[in-house]
Amino acid sequence: MTVNNLPKFVILLVGLLCLTALMIFDKIDMQSGVPMLTMIIGYSIGNGVNAKQGGESSNVFGNRKQKHESK
């Protein structure tokens, strides 16, 4: 897969890293942090599955372009 929507990917990555850091330093408790982590990861996985199936949306990930087409 390739990254189709770089700004959305960066926002998800920064959110994931910041949320994880806040949970490590006990600024956010586990009961609040785990559902937010689950949402970010689930959104990313859902976009990846949709891109693999060729669905239409503004996906974070897209199908990898093949260099050689099969004959």
Number of structural domains in the chain: 1
Quote the pLDDT of residue 26: 94
Residue 60 within a domain:
no
Beta carbons of 59 and 5 less than 8 angstroms apart: yes
Residue range(s) defining the domain that contains residue 41:
2-51
Relative orientation angle of helices 30-52 and 6-24, to the nearest 10 degrees:
160
Residue 35, Cβ density class (10 Å: 0-12 exposed, 13-18 middle, ≥19 buried): exposed
Secondary structure E strands in the chain: 2-3, 61-62
Write out pLDDT tens, residues 7-65: 888 988 999 999 999 999 999 999 999 999 999 998 888 877 777 777 666 656 666 66
Residue 15 within a domain:
yes
